A and B are shown apart, each in its own frame.
Chain A
Amino acid sequence: MPEKLSIIVVEADRERALLIVDSLREAGDFDVAVISEVTGLSRRISEMNPDVVLIDISSPSRDMLEELALASGPMDRPVALFVDHDDAGLTRSAIEAGVSAYVVDGLRPDRIKPIMDAAIARFHMFSQMRAELKATRQALEERKIIDRAKGLLMKAKGLDEDEAYALLRKAAMDQGVKLADVAQSLVTAAGLLS
Chain B
Amino acid sequence: MSAPLSAGFIPLVDAAPLVIAREIGFAEEEGLALDLRPAASWATLRDMVSHGQVEAAHMLAPMPVASALGLGGAGVRLDVLQVLSVNGNAIGVSTALAEVMRAAGHSFDFADAAAAGRALLAARPEGLRIGVPFPFSGHAELLYHWLGALGFAVPQALSVHTVPPPLMADALAAGEVDAFCVGAPWGTLAVESGAGELLLPGTAIRRFAPEKVLAVRHDWADAEPELTGRLMRAIWRANRWLGQPQNRTTASEILARSAYLDTPAELIERALSGRLIVSQKGDMRTVPRYLEFFEGAATFPWRSTGALIADRIAARTGLDRPAAQAEGRRVFRSDLYRHHLARTTADMPGASERLEGALAEDTPVASPSGRLTLAADSFFDGFIFDPQRKT
Contact = CB atoms under 8 A, between A and B. Distances in A.
Interface stretch (A55-63, A125-133, A156-164): A55-63
Quick one: which of B133, B162, B164 has the most chain A CB within 10 A? B162
A63 B41 contact: yes
A39 B133 contact: no
B134 interface: yes
A66 B317 contact: no
B164 A70 contact: no
A82 interface: yes
B51 A92 contact: yes
Interface residues of A, number: 29
Nearest to B10: A60
B382 interface: no
A95 interface: yes
Interface residues of B, number: 33
B41 A81 contact: no
A13 to B, nearest CB: 15
B71 A63 contact: no
Contacts of A78: 70
B135 A57 contact: no
B316 to A, nearest CB: 11
Contact of B44 (A42, A62, A91, A92): A62
Given A66-B42, A66-B162, A88-B74, 18 more contacts: A38-B167, A39-B170, A39-B171, A39-B176, A42-B162, A61-B41, A62-B41, A63-B43, A66-B43, A66-B72, A67-B161, A74-B70, A74-B317, A75-B319, A78-B70, A81-B72, A91-B74, A95-B53
Closest CB pairs A-B (n = 7) = A60-B164, A62-B41, A67-B162, A63-B41, A58-B40, A60-B40, A64-B162
Interface of A: 38-40, 42, 57-67, 69-70, 74-75, 78, 81-82, 85, 88, 91-92, 95-96, 100
